[in-house]
Chains A and B, each alone.
Chain A
Amino acid sequence: MQNTSSMSWFGRLSLGSGLAFLYLPIVVLVVYSFNASKLVSVWSGFSLGWYVTLFEDEAVMAAFGLSLKVALLASAMSVVLGTMAGLVLARFGPFRGKSLFAGMLTAPMVMPEVITGLSMLLLFVSMQQWFGFPEERGVLTIWIGHVTLCMAYVTVVIRSRLVEMDRSLEEAAMDLGARPLKIFFVITLPLILPAIASGFLLAFTLSLDDLVMTAFLSGPGSTTLPQLIFSRVRLGLNPEINALGTLTVLVVAVLVIAANRIMLHQEKRRAALAAAA
């Protein structure tokens, strides 16, 4: 919708209060991470003490390392499978079972994780009984769960990019003698690279943040960061978590703003060059 006039007062009010609502807890979280006192009700001075405690907390560091590892591996696989799935849905014609395929890609996005988590766990348990594999639940099972979940999201991103992409580019390549596989790597892939990047980021975030499914699929010795946070938070407020939260917010904010800036800058460059033609 184009509306050159500035926003109405109602628009500004609703946006303002909405954004305030969204950011209030985050702001409070950040502020209190610097509170020297453990209690929320008392502000006893600015302190970085909780950050120090955080970095010295081995359990947290280990959990973070594991979460990071799983997230990277899961995102990588999700992108591969998600790109394939997106390609199938956007480019391949009808085939038997296509609607089931598409359905299996929508469902994980909305299905409550308690359901997907439990069902996958039961699968692994049965597999263990019959084949002896996987012997133990751990990184592998968590990875499988995350990939299954994230793949659905990546597919959506890739698929919508493919659908809006000019198909005549691929047809032109075919017309000029390139075979389908080559066309994918030389024409399609470079053009959907931004979508793949955002798919990867999306999968990464989802994997890093996942709790419920991970709880079902993890085993002894494989505690992810969300699991750790959850077990601590259940017991009550903990300023170390404030520090952790603040760091998360900071990192994410920097990354998102940076990505945004880069995108805008690229678009401006293109527009300038095109206008000069």
Chain B
Amino acid sequence: MNTPLLHAWAARWQALRHRLPAGRTLVIGLPYGWLWLFFLLPFLFVLQISFSEVEIASPPYRALLSQSEDVLNIALNLGNYRFIFDDPLYLDAYLGSVKVALVTTLFCLLLGYPMAYAIARAAPTQRNTLLMLVMLPFWTSFLVRVYAWMGLLDNEGLINTLLLALGVIDQPLHLLHTAFSVQLVMVYTYLPFMILPLYSNLVKLDGRLLEAAADLGCRPWRAFVTVTLPLSKNGIVAGAMLVFIPAVGEFVIPELVGTPESLMIGKVLWMEFFDNNNWPMAAAVTCVMLALLIVPIIYLHRREEKALARAARH
């Protein structure tokens, strides 16, 4: 390792090192910078454009700043926001989305909790396999699974075909493109997001607590309600947040299995942007949605940080 060439390279590297930012700054700076640029900064643009007006141009909105002689004009168009609050379509869509998201969260909890609990209490060797089975659908394409439901619920789909064949019904049930289908597929899609945090929480529960409760005369159901349930609170909240927040803005499911009437806000945003080409309106809808969701997001973030801090200390 004594070649002069290597020495020269080493010397150049040393010189370069002193001019590069310190290692630590780089490691923080790269991801931080990326997120600032591509995640945070875009929101400013959304805000800016939400105050703009539609125009036949490319891009299809009017600039906010304009200059006439020595006067710099900033035109903030509040029309988009006014429209959102005046036109019942938007309010209905927001409320509808929240409602659907809440119902989805509830059913995911009702279905997911027993499953997570059962897996957590299974023997360690079984647990792995069961978890894998639950997570496998999650890894397969989301789109394909929604499509699969379309096939099942369709008027000529499997469910109707079977029921007709069995003679349970005479006419095919109108299952697809209903509020029911949206809710069903939402629950189906978001179920793994509820099961996983619930499971991680429940699996850390000390089984001996339940043994102690039984020893003290507590029947299983009561033990569950007074011991297990409160202790799994964190998992429930985490799962609920992980389902609710993205569910509000869901687009694909209402688009593929929903009705044209019952709009969800994600679909409204898409339509405003792609169909109406009304970027400012879409931006305004986005801002309102953000305002709606920012509080739950911060709440979730705080909880995650606290949980991690607690875990790190042990």
Contacts and interface: CB of A to CB of B under 8 A. Distances in A.
B300 interface: yes
B141 A114 contact: no
B114 A18 contact: yes
A211 B252 contact: yes
Contact of B39 (A28, A116, A234): A116
Interface in B20-79: 23-24, 27-28, 30-32, 34-36, 38-43, 45-46, 49, 59
Given A226-B143, A260-B132, A111 B293 contact: yes
Pick the most buried of A22, A39, A226: most chain B CB atoms within 10 A of its CB: A22
Contacts of A39: 156
Contacts of B128: 260, 264
Contacts of B84: none
Interface string B238-270: 000110011011111001100000000010011
A105 B35 contact: yes
A7 interface: yes
A72 B270 CA distance: 28
A40 B151 contact: yes
Given A40-B156, A163-B308, A252 B136 contact: yes
Contact of B49 (A99, A122, A237): A122
B148 A3 contact: no
Pick the most buried of B31, B123, B130: most chain A CB atoms within 10 A of its CB: B31
Given A1-B205, A120-B38, A245-B141, A40 B114 contact: no
B42 A122 contact: yes
A23 B121 contact: no
Contacts of A106: 297, 300-301, 304
A93 to B, nearest CB: 10
B274 to A, nearest CB: 8
A38 to B, nearest CB: 11
B45 A81 contact: no
Nearest to B206: A1
B298 interface: yes
A36 interface: no
B273 interface: yes
A245 B132 contact: no
A85 B30 CA distance: 9
Contacts of B135: 256
A10 interface: yes
Contact of A180 (B23, B160, B204, B289): B23
Given A25-B188, A40-B156, A114 B28 contact: no
B141 A110 contact: no
A233 interface: yes
B245 to A, nearest CB: 4
B115 interface: yes
B277 interface: no
A113 interface: yes
B141 A253 contact: no
Interface string B294-306: 0001101100110
A26 interface: yes
Interface stretch (A53-61, A123-131, A168-176, A269-277): A123-131
A192 interface: no
Contact residues on B (Cβ < 8 Å of other chain), bracket: 35 or more
A256 B132 contact: yes
B139 interface: yes
Nearest to A23: B137
Interface in A33-70: 39-41
Nearest to A126: B45
B217 to A, nearest CB: 20
B212 interface: no
A112 B249 contact: yes
A211 B189 CA distance: 15
Given A10-B114, A106-B297, A110-B241, A209 B151 contact: no
A112 B39 contact: no
Pick the most buried of A122, A148, A164, A230: most chain B CB atoms within 10 A of its CB: A122
Given A40-B156, A88-B27, A129-B59, A110 B242 contact: yes
A266 interface: no
A1 B121 contact: yes
A95 B32 CA distance: 12
Contacts of A22: 134, 137, 188, 191
Interface in B191-237: 191, 202-207
A249 B49 CA distance: 41
A108 B301 CA distance: 11
A224 to B, nearest CB: 11
Contact of A253 (B136, B188, B248, B300): B136
Contacts of B154: 40, 237
Contact of A15 (B130, B149, B242): B130
Given A14-B118, A148-B34, A2 B27 contact: no
Given A107-B301, A123-B38, 7 more contacts: A18-B112, A18-B115, A25-B188, A112-B293, A118-B283, A241-B144, A253-B136
Interface of B: 23-24, 27-28, 30-32, 34-36, 38-43, 45-46, 49, 59, 111-112, 114-115, 117-124, 128-130, 132-137, 139-145, 147-152, 154, 156-158, 160-161, 188, 191, 202-207, 241-242, 245-246, 248-252, 255-256, 266, 269-270, 273-274, 279, 282-283, 286, 289-290, 293, 297-298, 300-301, 304-305, 308, 311-312
